[in-house]
Amino acid sequence: MTPRWPATVIAVAASILAASLAFAQGAAKADAAKGQSIVAQVCVACHGNDGNSPLAANPVLAGQYAGYTLKQLGNFKAQDGKPAERPNAIMAGMVASLSAEDMRNLAAYFEAQKPAPRAARDPQLVKLGQSIYRGGIAERGVAACTACHGPTGAGIPAQFPRLAGQHAEYTAAQLKAFRSGERRNDPARMMRSVTERLTDREIAALADYISGLR
């Protein structure tokens, strides 16, 4: 039986949906062309012209839901004297001069780009990763990833991010960051509660499997 999220997590997911729908209502005002101009000046070295990062340490942003990208950009930015919700020295420098409009434009531009397909590399790891992604680990209370990110890793618009085709190295690094508590911008500890029950090998298996989803 696939573990179910508690009511508090469901409530948080609903709040995410409401916030993302609010973004969607303003998306028509976002200017992807202006976003492209910012990419050429600020983002291209790490994420590529179209969001298909050439470096495995940096995330693929092409095709990512605008609401999710916008949230992450905001989380990287220190605001009103408060530290960034997602500390990262490099990204803090990148977003420091971006306005709310700039971030909306960037998010809209990346969402419109086509992600490049990738392939998993280790057959044995892929088999384990597929098992966890689709069915979770019931005896440890690990929920199946499909519940939030869908069977193909496409995510759920306005709720949960797209994972398919992401660099395995980046995915593994983020899962470990959630597990250690280094990354804490997951509502209701959703990702931390999952990753704290995973071994390094299981994380590597999930990351490899996810990279080949399409």
pLDDT tens for the 214 residues of the chain, in order = 444 544 444 544 554 555 455 545 555 589 999 999 999 999 999 999 999 999 999 999 999 999 999 999 999 999 888 999 999 999 999 999 999 999 999 999 999 999 999 999 999 999 999 999 999 999 999 999 999 999 999 999 888 999 999 999 999 999 999 999 999 999 999 999 999 999 999 999 999 999 999 9
Distance, in Å, from the CA atom of 101 to the CA atom of 78, rounded to the nearest integer, reads 16
pLDDT of 158 reads 80
How many other C-beta atoms lie within 10 A of the C-beta of residue 60? 28
Locate all alpha helices (DSSP H) within 61-199, ordered by sequence.
66-76, 89-95, 100-111, 123-135, 146-149, 168-180, 190-195
Farthest CA pair distance, the chain: 49
Task: Supply the pTM of this predicted model.
Answer: 0.88
pLDDT of 59 reads 98
pLDDT of 60 reads 98
The CATH number assigned to the domain with range 117-211 reads: 1.10.760.10
Q: Where are the chain's structural domains?
A: 31-111, 117-211
Whether 142 and 136 have beta carbons less than 8 Å apart is answered as yes
Looking at domain 31-111, its CATH architecture is Orthogonal Bundle (1.10)
Domain 31-111 matches domain 117-211 at the CATH topology level: yes
